[in-house]
A and B are shown apart, each in its own frame.
Chain A
């Protein structure tokens, strides 16, 4: 098991273009999370899935953002009509079960660095 894998590692795009990122969680993990990190800030929650069901979305997640996990395995995060403010590191994480008081650890991938020109 190689851990949480994210692709691509880096993405440069022009304002207004659509981008899609992929995350492959640790194989037996049923929960998958997306976070965003900008310079000087900590990771910021975007959304999470239990299997294929999207259980929570941050109110920070605008309509231009959509995430899917069609078969409960890998996930994609799409950003439509990118804006310069979308430039950030997009982190994917997975866990075997409930984190927090559930006791399961959250394992992060190395992230996708998005730069919108």
Chain B
């Protein structure tokens, strides 16, 4: 049972444009959501997070939006840069400390 879903395995965006990565979840008990970025041969690194009491969190070029009624969150990157090319994982947690990850979306930003 995949509780966190990223239905787009890949996304290609031109440099300077907006990248929108989507994530859906099924477990109503999730109350904290995170995005991690992963480069090849490295572990995932934390990017941005959002609590369920908020619907938006912004950090520089990165904004995460949460729609609890739709059980959907999205990560917006604007403007996109070639260095943003990586695999992005959505993750969620509830009343335990373990994170449940999605399958990832590979973002490629081309010049």
A interface with B by C-beta (< 8 Å): 4, 31, 33, 35, 40-45, 48, 55-56, 58, 91, 93, 95, 98-102, 105-111
Interface core residue of B98, B101, B103 (most chain A CB under 10 Å): B98
Question: When the two chains form their complex, are residues B32 and A45 in contact, meaning their CB atoms are under 8 A apart?
Answer: no
Q: Whole-angstrom distance from the CB of A94 to the nearest CB of chain B? A: 11
Given A42-B89, A42-B102, A101-B51, do A31 and B97 touch, yes or no (CB 8 Å)? yes
Question: When the two chains form their complex, are residues A110 and B89 in contact, meaning their CB atoms are under 8 A apart?
Answer: no
A-B pairs with lowest CB-CB distance, top 9: A108-B43, A42-B101, A100-B93, A100-B32, A45-B98, A105-B46, A43-B101, A108-B44, A101-B32
Interface core residue of B6, B97, B100 (most chain A CB under 10 Å): B97
If over half of A's interface residues share one DSSP class (helix, strand or loop), that class is named, otherwise mixed; here it is mixed
A6's nearest neighbour on chain B, judged by CB, is B43
Q: Whole-angstrom distance from the CB of B9 to the nearest CB of chain A? A: 8
Q: CA A90 – CA B5 in complex, angstroms?
A: 21
Q: CA A41 – CA B102 in complex, angstroms?
A: 7
Question: When the two chains form their complex, are residues A91 and B43 in contact, meaning their CB atoms are under 8 A apart?
Answer: yes
